[in-house]
Amino acid sequence: MELQFTITPEHTQLRVNELLEQEMLKDDQLQARLLGHITRLQDRLLAPLLFLLGLAGGMLAIYFPAREFSPQKLISMALFGVIFVVFWWCYSGRLLSHLRKRMANNRANVRMPFRRVNQRLIESNLRIRLKATEGAYRLQFDDQGFILTNTRAKGAKSELAWAQIVRLKVTPDFYSIACAKLDREGKAYHIPKRSDVMDSEQYQQGLELFLSRVPASAALKPAS
């Protein structure tokens, strides 16, 4: 039995739209993990960093511009250190709370433009990768398995036995079929639900026969 179909730019756009949401979800999860790590690091370092900067700044202000140590300077440094520690003990909580809120707001304001840039990059990469699959295809199958041939790509062929199929996923426009290796890589063979080079009824009958050969273990799974 043989089925013929084409993967068109319109199909590519449909797949880009479908995969973009999934890829953006993965990117959001990655960004959330990175942001959480950075936030925890900032929270741990913010208090000691501000304390050391304030203490060192005060000491240096007393030391300069004469650039020499004297009993008076040493006493002044000691007094400043005591006063600074008391001040830090009393007011650092409110200061740190205010700074953390400002930092959180700044991260939120920066994230949206950055997310739009990521979305454009991801969409562009998806379109480049999926455009390579455009072309005319011939799907031949028998009791042993199927052969999928790209007739416009110098007859490039892919062959799979029925027993090798581990996943059959349904999307609004495609049936996606994968063996274990392709499934681990997040790849699949994509067969359109409609053909623009065959009679619609003949194509649907052939497609139903093709799907009936798929092992029950690879039950129809709606796209997630």
Type of residue numbered 54: G
- Mean of the per-residue pLDDT values for the chain? 87
- What are the b/e assignments for 132-171, b being 16+ CB within 10 Å? eebebbbbebeeeebebbbeeeeeeeeebeeebbbbbbee
CA distances from 35 to 18, 27, 69, 131 (A): 26, 12, 45, 33
Q: How high is the pLDDT of residue 224?
A: 45
Residue 54 banded pLDDT, cuts 50, 70, 90: very high
Rounded-to-integer distance, Cα 125 and Cα 115, Å: 15
**pLDDT 10s digits, 87-115:** 999 999 999 899 888 887 777 666 666 77
**pLDDT 10s digits, 109-153:** 666 667 788 889 999 999 998 888 888 999 999 999 999 998 876
Q: Rounded mean pLDDT of 23-39?
A: 85
